[in-house]
Amino acid sequence: MSSNRTVEDIFKDYSARRIGIVRALTYDVDQFYTQCDPEKDNLCLYGHPDETWEVALPAEEVPPELPEPALGINFARDGMNRKDWLSLVAVHSDSWLISVAFYLGAPFNGNDRKRLFSMINDLPTVYEVVTGKVALVKDKLSVDGGNKSRVGSKRSSDGQLKSNPKIATDAYGEEDDDDDEHSDTLCGSCGGIYNADEFWIMCDVCDRWYHGKCVKITPAKAQNIKHYKCPSCSMRKGRQ
């Protein structure tokens, strides 16, 4: 553990690992499902600081470098309804993400721990994203006092508007029977599900979509941006 990490450093690590896990349980759900073969040994779902995910065996060293995710998620795959199984993995993933964040932040004082928890709590949980319950915490995600812009489309270099995220199947890879259709598009920052009543913008580098409010871009500001680069891509560019 490093004692010189800031609350922002730990939150960035938490957010990146969370994005990787959300991707495994939504965008890449079929690939994730296939990798969780019940015939294999105890498998864990890991989210990494580079926003990727991995299904792998647990660390061999005891104690491990970081807290370990739930063991043997693959064993229950064929014995449960797919939705219930993914929800179960999501709940355990939320628990793991919190444990890693507070393990890394062990040197923090009470105020820092409180601030870290507050930042984490402002994001929807993996469980809420996977089960489509993000709408229940929409007030937490809103930073504009409830005055939501209509969905904005990003202009490409030739001046044409890019299409908005498409409406597709739900996070389980099955047709969504709810009255409100869900998209397979998630915010690259908070993991929230696409909502037609909110302004979104797409990064021209990584092609990920973001809530405008999550990256502090308004519809008016977007009209003056020829090539939008999200915070993650901007940071990578700066390190080169």
pLDDT digits (tens, 9 = 90+) for 200-212: 888 888 888 888 8
Longest dimension (CA), the chain: 57
CA angle 96/98/104 to nearest 5° reads 100
Give the amino acid at 47: G
Whether residue 228 is predicted with pLDDT greater than 70 in this model: the reply is: yes
Segment 70-80 mean pLDDT: 94
pLDDT digits (tens, 9 = 90+) for 42-64: 999 999 999 999 999 998 888 88
Matching residue, tokens 């490409």: 156
Distance CA 156, CA 227 (A): 7
pLDDT digits (tens, 9 = 90+) for 115-144: 999 999 988 899 988 887 754 333 333 333
- pLDDT > 90 fraction of the chain, expressed in percent and rounded: 45
Of 13-22, 77-86, 185-194, minimum mean pLDDT range: 185-194
**Domain assignments of the chain as residue spans, ordered by start:** 7-131, 136-240
Whether residue 22 is predicted with pLDDT greater than 50 in this model: the reply is: yes
pLDDT score for 174: 47
26-30, 133-137, 151-155 — which one is most confidently predicted on average? Answer: 26-30
Q: Find residue 193's DSSP bridge partners.
A: 186
CB 211 within 8 A of CB 190: yes
CA atoms within 13 A on the CB side of 96: 22
The third-level CATH classification (topology) of the domain covering 136-240 is Herpes Virus-1 (3.30.40)
